[in-house]
Structure 1
């Protein structure tokens, strides 16, 4: 069962990586980041509603705390999706995916502030290494025309911060109900927020566009199937193993960008990406094995 669960986590990370690439294709076609994010979340909502219908027991939907923290998780995932696609539009899939992978660093910083984690010299050194990796990856010291813009860098980091908000929201909601109930509330909040903020005409235009199969694929891989696989897989997968397997996401997204979108990364950027991936994974593993 443990091997199958690890496979589920790996497949979820693979789906997330592919969804970044698909989002990049849609954005290159001229679709707004908010619209792309809305459909990713809305189609995911259909999946988790089905999961809740199949397993309604212990949902906790009567709990106010469940609703509160689930809505916080929804705000986090809405920000994560939106800032991720903005970062892609202002840079590249590879850079956006790697910056989002910095989410554990934000989790640590928030945990330090809330005194949930004790800061140590080793943790601060790891965070400093990630910052160096970000500088190398984004080349913010030498921004070139057509390269990663400052907006792309900030949006990528905000996508990671938003994912950290989702993690905290989900964590505090978990004692009060089932994962499927939490995700239903979170994705419903996401859909309401992004629909109200997005371009209504473009949102409705998706329903009749030839690109609608890509939107469906994005929703299925990026929020529907992936979240179900990830939550189920985590039940029997050690956190340290899950942290390592999660590297599949930025690697897959980067390969998609290079192969399909004709993106490229220089040697310095690749070094920065490697530094970030290795350091963040080591941070996650050390935290989960204590």
Structure 2
């Protein structure tokens, strides 16, 4: 059971990594980042609604607390999807995915502020290493050299911050209802929020475009099946193991960007990526209050 659960976590992380590449393909074809984000969440909503109907017990849908915190989680995941794809559009899949992987750093900082986590010198040192990794990855000291714009860097970091909001929203909603109920509300909020800024013509065109299989794959892999697999997998997977396995996501996204989208990374960027992945994973493994980079259910 433990081995199967770990495999579910790895598959979920793989799906998330592939979703970044699929989104990159769609935006390279001219699709708006908000449109891509909206359909990723909308199709994911259909999947988790099916899960909710299959397992309706203990949904907690009558709880006001569940709706409040699930709405917060929905705002977080809406920002995460939109900023992530905006970062890809303004830079590369590899850079965007790695910047988003910094979400636990934001969770740490919020935990410090809320006194959920005690700040120590090693933790501050680890955060400083992540900041160094970000500087190397984005080549912020020579921003034009990497092909990543300042907007791309900012959007990637905001994607991580938004994911931190999602983590806290999910964490506080969890005692009041089932994961499938929380995700159903969260994705419904996402769809409502991202519908308005999206290009209206493109929103309608998706239904008849030859690219519709990519949209379906993006929604199923990036927001539906992946979340179900991850939540099921976490039931018998230790947080430390989940933290390490979660590295599959940015690595997969980066390889997809290099091999399929013909993106490139220079030596300092690869070093920066390594510093971020190793340090963030170590932070998650050794912390009690900060979840793994893609953890949805454990405090």
Smaller-chain TM-score range? over 0.9
Aligned to 1:191: 191
Report what 1:80 is aligned to: 80
- C-alpha distance in structure 1 between counterparts of 2:285 and 2:237, whole Å: 13
How far off its partner does 1:197 sit?
A: 2.1
CA–CA separation in structure 1 for the residues paired with 2:265 and 2:14? 21
CA distance, structure 2, for counterparts of residue 124 and residue 226 of structure 1: 32
Whether the 8 Å CA contact 2:17–2:252 is kept in 1: the answer is: yes
Give the match for residue 11 of structure 1. 11
Query: Counterpart of 2:167?
Result: 167
1:50 is matched with 50
Determine the structure 1 residue equivalent to 2:112. 112
Tell me by how many angstroms 1:87 deviates.
0.3
1:198 deviates by: 1.2
The aligned counterpart of 2:276 is 276
Change (3 A) 1:68 1:93: same
| 2:158 aligned counterpart, secondary structure | helix
1:265 is matched with 265
- Between the aligned partners of 2:70 and 2:289, the Cα distance in structure 1 is 27
Counterparts of 1:251 and 1:106 in 2: how far apart (Å)? 21
Where does 1:118-267 land on structure 2 (aligned, <5 Å)? Answer: 118-144=118-144, 147-267=147-267
- C-alpha offsets along residues 100-148 of structure 1, whole Å, 9 cap, x if unaligned? 0000000000111111111000100000000000000000110226700
Please say if residues 77 and 166 of structure 1, whose CA atoms lie closer than 8 Å, have aligned partners that are also in contact. yes
| Aligned mates of 1:72, 1:31 — CA distance in 2 | 27
Contact 2:39 2:215 (8 Å CA) reproduced: yes
Residue 263 of structure 1 aligns to a residue in which SS?
coil
Cα distance between partner residues in 2 of 1:204 and 1:12: 29
Residues in 1 aligned to 2:42 and 2:60: alpha-carbon distance in whole angstroms: 22
Contact 1:240-1:289 at 8 Å conserved across structures: no
Between the two proteins, the alignment pairs up a number of residues equal to 290
In 1: Cα distance, 2:289 partner to 2:98 partner: 23
Task: Say if 2:97 and 2:253, in contact at 8 Å, map to a contact too.
Answer: yes
Name 1:23's counterpart in structure 2.
23
CA RMSD of aligned residues (A): 1.1
Counterpart residue number, 1:96: 96
Contact 2:139 2:146 in 1 (8 A): no
Contact 2:63-2:176 at 8 Å conserved across structures: yes
C-alpha contact 1:51 1:180 (8 A) present in aligned 2:
yes
SS in 1 for 2:264: coil
1:201, CA displacement in angstroms? 1.4
TM-score normalised by structure 1 residue count: 0.98
Could you tell me how far apart the structure 1 residues matched to 2:58 and 2:32 are?
38
Question: Aligned partners of 1:189 and 1:197: how far apart in 2?
Answer: 14
Structure 2: which 5+ runs fail to align? Answer: 291-299
- Deviation, structure 1 residue 252: 0.1
